Structures are given as C-alpha cells and as structure tokens.
Chains A and B, each alone.
Chain A
Amino acid sequence: MASATDKNEFFTVAAEPQVNSNIPPGPLAEKWTQHKFNMKLVNPANRRKHTIIIVGSGLAGASAAATLGEQGYNVLCFCYQDSPRRAHSIAAQGGINAAKNYRNDGDSVYRLFYDTIKGGDFRAREANVYRLAEISSNIIDQCVAQGVPFAREYGGLLDNRSFGGAQVSRTFYARGQTGQQLLLGAYQALSRQIDAGTVKMFPRTEMLDLVIINGKARGIITRNMVTGKIERHVGDAVVLATGGYGNVFYLSTNAKGCNTTAIWRAHRRGAFFANPCYTQIHPTCIPVSGDYQSKLTLMSESLRNDGRIWVPKTPGDKRPPHQIPEDERDYYLERKYPSFGNLAPRDIASRAAKEACDAGRGVGPGGLGVYLDFSDAIKRLGRQKIEERYGNLFEMYAHITGEDPYVTPMRIYPAVHYTMGGLWVDYNLMSNITGLFVAGEANFSDHGANRLGASALMQGLSDGYFVLPATMGNYIASEKPEKVDINHPAFAEAEAEVVERTKKLLSINGNRSVDSFHRELGKLMWDNCGMARSDESLRYALSVIPKIREEFWQNVKVPGEGEELNQELEKAGRVADFLELAELMCIDALHRTESCGGHFRIESQTEDGEAKRDDEHFTYVAAWESTGVGKPPVLHKEPLNFENVQLATRSYK
C-alpha cells in the first residue's frame, strides 16, 4: 500500500504493524456466540481472588463494574467526580438504539449493523459492529428490568422514535434525559455491588498513570483530589472507561472535567491511539455568545424530527425570522438531501450549516447560527405535543438564551461533541498492552469515522454489561496473572514520575492561567483541525502546538499546593496532556488525505462539495505508537476487510 500516506516529516510507518484484531473466524452472525463458547471461564469460587481496576463510572465503567462485581470479581472503580452518578453519560439526551423492530418497520440486527457501518463511512470493523447490533436488544431488556423509566405508549409498551441517519424507528428514550436514566440504572446496579462489598468505589480520585509489569497492565497511580495524596492500586487487569477527549477543543458539549489524561498516559506507556482525528461535530448546539464562554450546550438532535432548519436566502439578511417570508428562506437540508432532509447524518448537517454561515447567510450574533424552527410542527401537532416531546430541551434553551423557542425559532450551530478515535482495542476490547482493556467512548471501536445518533449509549452499555464481562474471564483464565503488589519497582517509578510532574506544575509560577492556554489550544484546533481540515491548516497547527506547549511548561501559573483540593492543578495536568494529544490529532488528520465521516479534508471533495473517500488508500484503522513528546509517532495500519457489506458512496440525497 504505497501512497502519499506512507510518511512525512511528522511520522513513520511500521513495516510490520503490531495490530491483530483477533476477530474470531466463522460467519458474521455466529462469531460472537461461537467466541463466547470458545472462551475460557473462571470458576465462580476463584473470581474474588482476582482484582479488576476500572477507571470510569460512566455507562461503560459503571455497567462493567456492576457486572464484574456481581460475577464475583473484586472490583476497584474510580471516577473524578464526587459521585459515580455524575459521569458525563448523564448528559445524553436523545436516546439509545436497539434492533427490537417493535415498530415492525423493517428493522433487524442486520439493518442496525448495516446502518452503523455505513454511518461510520466504512471505517469500522464489521465483526465489532455486528456484535453491537446483536447485543442492542439485551441492553433495553436489562435497563427496563432495572427500572429505567423509558417513554411508553398508552398501551403500556415501549415507545420509539427515529434518530438522525436512520429510516426506522429504533431509538428508545426517556424524555430528553435518556443518558441520565440509563446512567442512574447503571449507578444503581453499581451501588448494589458496593453495598455487597464486591466493588470498592473511589470517587474524587484521578488516574494519573498506568503501571506495567512484565509487559502487562497491572495497576494505576492516582491522586486523591481532596487530600492530594498520590496512591498506588494493583490489579490483575485494568479497564479504562474514561470517556471522550473532545475538550481538547476547549469549547465542546463535554463536561468541564472530561479529559484525555487516563488514555493519554496509557498511550505514553505503549498503548496505541487509533484514529485520533475522527471527531464528531454535532449540528444542533446553542451558538457561542461571547469570549467568556466556558462550554457549549447540545440540543438533542431528536429536535430535528420536528424542527426545520433554515437560513435566509440572501446573505446578510438581518430581519427577524418571522419577517422573512417563506420563499426567501432556504431549508437547505431539505433542498440538498430530499430523502433524509432535516434528519441527514451529523457530519453532513454540520458541514451544511458551516457552508451557509461561511456564505454570509448565518443568523444571530456574529452570523454563526442557523434557525431550527418548530412553527410548522406546532401548527400541525399543537403546542402540547411538542411540549411533551421536547419540553425540557425547550426549557433549557430558554434558560440559556432568554428566548422562547415556542415563539422564536431556536438558533443552533455545530459544536464538538464526540470523539470516535480513542485507544486501539481488539475484538475483546483489549489494547495492544496485555491486560489493558478500554471501553466506551475511550476506545476507538464501532463508530468508524462518524457516529450515528443514539449509538454511543448503546456501545457503552454493550461494552460494559456484555462484552467485557465475557472477555475478562477469558483473559484471567488464560493469562493467569502472576502475583504482584504495590511494592514492585514499576509502581515506585510511575509514582515518582507523577510526583515530579505535579511538583513541576506547581513550581513554574509563571504569568498565564491554565485556562488561557486551554482556550488558545482549543481555538487553534477548531480553526485548523475542526469541521474542515487542509494540508495547509494542519501544517500550520503542527507548527504552533509545540510552541504553546513549550510556553505552557515555562509560563503557566498554578496557585496553591499539591496536598489539598486544588482545581487549578487538576486542570493543569489535563491541559498538559491535551497539548500532547492535539499534535497527534493533527498528524493523523494530515496523513489521512481523504475525506470520510467526521474528517472532512478540503482537498478531497466531489464537484458538488460532498466528501470524497479514498478507499483504495485509506480502508484501514490508523493506530499510533508513541515515541515520546514531540517525536514522530509510528503508524500501525490495521486493514479493514469488508466481507459482508459492499463499500459504497454514502449518499443521503
């Protein structure tokens, strides 16, 4: 596969890629069942002798901790919030997919599989995605049994809706708070295990490094965020379920604390980072209102089921929306993509909004917004129905903007929302470091280059409730991890590095706050590695990032001490890691000269401005090996083989 992608001054390519996906043999539909049967088991009586470290208590981490605890393992679970119930999964609004076909509208496991593969622009593994679709139904059953109050119809059965990118109604939801209810379900299952003594929970505890002994992940180094104490934890395996790294852009729909530290530290210790440049920009967020802005708020894309997106036809039209007559409005998604209309997938809807705004047709302050208009839906269905469907979203919008969306159309703009990239894992969710597993948004699997709506919740819970509990037993039973304890020199060494780094951050005492660096990095990334990227923009970013990083380590100001609750110190450590990750994202984006999914490369588009994929050169997963800060990483290519679906141009017209 010789091509322009084979290296440049920023990276090298591994002659013999060290990425074995370990996909089981056999027909697609039987792989998982067969694999489950072939895997080794751990005798129930022996399980409690094995400790499993799980970092993260979001959907992926909490469901894994609850299930492994219930199976009898000794689980240690960590999160940075004050309670596991607050992981950012809580903020998911729209829903969770499952191939139940309760609507009898032609859904099936195969269709969910196909939609997800296609939605991901043919950059995900067939086998993983099929398993996800297969498990999807069990997730709903599990959650219902836990008491998750999904929306129901008058007959008492579960309600569904359709979600961006799908032509069937397969999305289950709990008003506009699906993530909250699913997470509380997992949190309650976790709480039950904490009460039973199988899981020990460490809230307000941040993982700062991974400990590897004899080539296997055996522990972590953490900081107690209340006392500042640096601590060692040992286990037979380590699971990272630490969420996405969208905050590298500073402004995103992620929570303020979302970070890359856990997976980045693991990457620095040898774990490959796959497809870091695949970020999802969500089309329906509340636009930025000023420089002080600290985060962006998503409006669930379920709104696109009933809202119509438009901008004025004439650039610079400053009239208030209701004064712009129908024939002077451009419902651009309905016009360009008649069969999907306002439900076009996220990457397409986001880019179309950017195009409209770049052409001077944007609305609101700075012209960075488009209308999402419910007046037709309110006329058709009545206000009450709309209130029932989206009440809390409308309320949230009104709260933030001070405008009433029942009367004035909402203004929306795309924002960074989800990261498809993450640590590389094989079919068993194990990274290339033996014993290091990665679940949920933190891994790269399943969503390819673009994630469809309502599929992240599904993946997090599939990983945690069903996949890890099966593959973990196999790992423990076949590897039989030897006895080690926290006095092993590898622990001392990792701890010393963490202590050193913390001291360094506190001692610089420069002139700029952590936030000022984070904002600078974020803007650079948004402008140059955001919704559209080019060779020029990426090279520019790659010339600036090392300078920001250098200045950071010479001029950052972190007040306070290490042995106390110190929020500036927490932020400083995270921003330091973002400053390294950003570089890898740009290198990955630069090397991938095709457009695909969330990665739109300016040089690679069709005549009518649609993304142009390059299957000949890029049908692979880019897994990056670190060689040190600022040093060229090594690219390991995992080829993607499509045996069941045909690579096709993704058309939503």
Chain B
Amino acid sequence: MKLTLNVWRQKGPNDSGHFETYHTDKVLPEMSFLEMLDVVNQDLIAEGKEPIAFDHDCREGICGTCGMMINGVPHGRQIAGTPTTTCQLHMRFFKDGDTITIEPWRAKAFPVLKDLVVDRSAFDHIIQSGGYISVPTGAAPDGNAIPVPKPKADYAFDAAACIGCGACVAACPNASAMLFTGAKVAHLAALPQGQAERYDRVLRMVDTHDAEGFGGCTNFAECEAVCPKGISIDVIAQMNRDLFWANLTRSQPKAKKESH
C-alpha cells in the first residue's frame, strides 16, 4: 500500500509545531497503525532524521498509552467502524493511495510534550482526589461476606473497563473529562464497598476535574462514540445524580461531626 501521511511534529512543549508530509509504500494491510508508524520511523532514522515520537506500550488495546487523532477522530474510530485503540487499528481499513492526517490529543489539560506525545497526568490527579475505596491492606472481610448482585457487578465492571487513554477528552468540543471521571464514580458507586465515601468522592473528583482545566459536559456524546471500551454516557448521568445529592448535603453542616 502507498500512503501519504501528514504528521504533527513538535520538538518540545514550548515549540509551536507544524505538519510534515511523509510518503511510504511499504505498508501491508496486516500491519497495525503503530507498526505502520514503526516502518516510517525506520526510514526516517535511516535518512538521518528524527523519528516521530508517539506513546504506546502494550499494543493490545488495554494499557491506554497509545492515542492520536487520525483524520480528526481519536484512534481513527470512524475508519475502523467499531470501537478501537490506535494500536488495534489495522491498516486493512485503509485504501491504497490514502492520505492520513495524524495529530496529538488537543486539550488544554493535555499539553503536548513532543510530536504526538501528550501529558495526561491530569487524569491521575482526578483519581488521586477520591477515585478509590479507603481500605487499609489486611483489613478486609472475606470476599464472599458481602454478596453483590450480578447485574450490579456487571455494571460496575462495564464502567471500570475504562483504560484512561483520553480519547473522550480529545473528542469533546469542550475537552471535558466527564466520561473518564463518571466511569470511576459509577464503578465505585455501584458496589456496596463504595458507599461509605460515595458523595464525598464525587465532590472531590469533580472539583479536581474542573481545576485541571477540563471543560464541562454539554451532552455532545462524542466521547461515548470514540471510547475504545464502549463506556456509556449513562455514567455521566449517574455521576450528576450523585453530585446533586452530594451538593445538597455539602451545603449543610457536616451532620456526623456535630452530633458527637
């Protein structure tokens, strides 16, 4: 296959960046998108040029490290026709002679570090602000002590399947991370173990989400469409319900402390 690539090149965080065009005729339909970039990079190295920097690790669609805009859509979702990560997008979906535009995630909260590599530490900050259940190691009751109805467990799993790639943010016109945040809130809120901190959690996580520079959700649902794990925007509705209750109680004095 012959391809023309327009690739975003940016030396570092302070460089303004630009597109460069590359041609390759060494692409095979069995290759993954990242293997295609490997091939282009090997040629660049041979020509004494710097290869294109891009993040990747597992190359099997689970670590969430890879991610780029392919013809304007995160992970090239529109090309695969099904949810995918960039590493699981295969070249058989492209045609000989295609031109492909490749850019990094674009969002204020995800500054570009180099070429296609962005800084997603804002996601970690959201989880650090409450995306967990506070259970010290060794203090757990027997695993079967608290039954969890299967539908609840399945729902929790569906939400927990998020890989934290950032496609939802990249797809959103507001660069909102509500799908990411909602997924963790919904996962933990669905389980009996997550109840104790439920409302405090959602408040803290949403506050951090906003402080990190992500935008608000205005229901475009672009996030759901590109999510490689098919996380449903229902999690955002769930989060908003919890947030509503949490805000009601937040405005009241902390009842528990006062009653002592």
Contacts and interface: CB of A to CB of B under 8 A. Distances in A.
Contacts of B42: 513, 515-516
B137 A465 contact: yes
Given A146-B132, A292-B31, A513 B45 contact: yes
Contacts of A466: 137-138
A181 B153 CA distance: 13
Contacts of A145: 133, 135, 139-141, 193
A83 B123 CA distance: 9
Interface residues of A, number: 80
Contact of B60 (A151, A293, A297): A297
Contact of B50 (A91, A143, A469, A560): A560
27 contacts: A70-B137, A81-B65, A82-B55, A83-B123, A85-B64, A90-B163, A141-B142, A145-B141, A145-B193, A147-B188, A150-B143, A152-B150, A152-B153, A175-B157, A177-B161, A181-B157, A191-B128, A192-B128, A201-B124, A289-B30, A293-B35, A400-B88, A400-B90, A513-B46, A564-B12, A565-B114, A568-B51
Contacts, number: 216
Contacts of B253: none
A399 B144 CA distance: 36
Interface of B: 11-12, 28, 30-32, 34-35, 38-39, 42, 45-46, 48-51, 53, 55-65, 82, 84, 88, 90, 92, 113-114, 117, 119-121, 123-124, 127-144, 146-150, 153-154, 156-157, 160-161, 163-164, 187-188, 191, 193-194
A137 B145 CA distance: 13
A402 B90 contact: yes
Which 3 pairs show the lowest CB-CB distances between chains A and B? A156-B147, A188-B132, A145-B140
Nearest to B158: A149
Given A142-B137, A256-B59, A568 B193 contact: no
A415 to B, nearest CB: 12
A157 B153 contact: no
Interface in A185-232: 187-189, 191-192, 194-195, 201, 203, 226
Given A174-B157, A203-B124, 4 more contacts: A156-B153, A180-B62, A298-B60, A399-B84
Interface string A143-164: 1111101111111111000000
A146 B193 contact: yes
Contacts of B60: 91, 295, 297-298, 396
Interface string A119-141: 00000000000000000011011
Given A147-B194, A191-B128, A559-B49, A290 B160 contact: no
Nearest to A558: B45
Nearest to A557: B45
Contact of A144 (B53, B59, B65, B143): B143
Contacts of B38: 292, 294, 515
A589 B14 CA distance: 50
A144 B146 CA distance: 9
A154 B156 CA distance: 15
B7 to A, nearest CB: 15
Nearest to B139: A145
A144, A157, A180, A189 — which one has the most chain B CB atoms within 10 A of its CB?
Answer: A144
Nearest to B133: A147
Interface in A466-483: 466, 469
Q: Which among A90, A137, A147, A191 has the highest number of chain B CB atoms within 10 Å?
A: A147
Contacts of A194: 124, 128
Contacts of A88: 57-58, 63
